[in-house]
Amino acid sequence: MKKKLLIEIIASLLVILFLYTGLNKLFEHTTFRYQLSISPWPLLASLSGIVSWALPIGEVLLAAMFLITAFRMTAFIASAILFATFLAYLGILLSSGTNLPCTCGGIISSMSWNAHVWFNTACLSLCIAGIFLVRNTYRILNQH
């Protein structure tokens, strides 16, 4: 029972995070697209029009997937991939030496780059924990 509660807490935190960041990016779409277009990574800059819609819509869809138990494992895996990608992008930003605005949206955009690395690492850790908890919890339930 404790594992199920922990899964619910982690999923709820990620729902809040993805809804907050996804909706913020959609409401501030013009700013978000501009920030992506000045990325030091040329591929992202050239795809800013597509990414500026796909990323926030994907975040909102991930939030919805966490609410449906049957999709929770997929949501944890997709979220882990997303946070790993965010961390790789942060590495690109930090190694570029360019002082760029954060594209996260809302309160999260006021974090330092160091805080972003720690925050994304914590979120990735939560996703990995969620994957193992879901896998182990439902495997045990299916054996009985």
Segment 30-83, tens digit of pLDDT:
999 998 998 888 888 999 999 999 999 999 999 999 999 999 999 999 999 999
Q: How far apart are CA 16 and CA 143, in angstroms?
A: 32
- Residue 142 banded pLDDT, cuts 50, 70, 90: low
- Residue 90 banded pLDDT, cuts 50, 70, 90: confident
Residue 143 has a pLDDT of 54
Residue 74 has a pLDDT of 97
Q: How far apart are CA 48 and CA 124, in angstroms?
A: 24
Residue 65 has a pLDDT of 98
Domain interval for residue 14: 2-143
Q: Higher pLDDT residue, 101 or 116?
A: 116
Domain count of the fold of the chain: 1
Residue 92 has a pLDDT of 81
Dihedral in degrees, nearest 10, Cα atoms 84, 89, 93, 96: 110
Contact 90, 120 (CB under 8 A): yes
Contact 44, 51 (CB under 8 A): yes
Q: How far apart are CA 105 and CA 36, in angstroms?
A: 12
Q: Higher pLDDT residue, 11 or 42?
A: 11
At position 82, the amino acid (one-letter code) is L
DSSP, collapsed to helix, strand or coil, labels residue 69 as helix
Q: How far apart are CA 17 and CA 22, in angstroms?
A: 8
Q: Higher pLDDT residue, 89 or 74?
A: 74
CA atoms within 13 A on the CB side of 76: 22
- Residue 11 banded pLDDT, cuts 50, 70, 90: very high
Per-residue tokens: 44: 């992202």
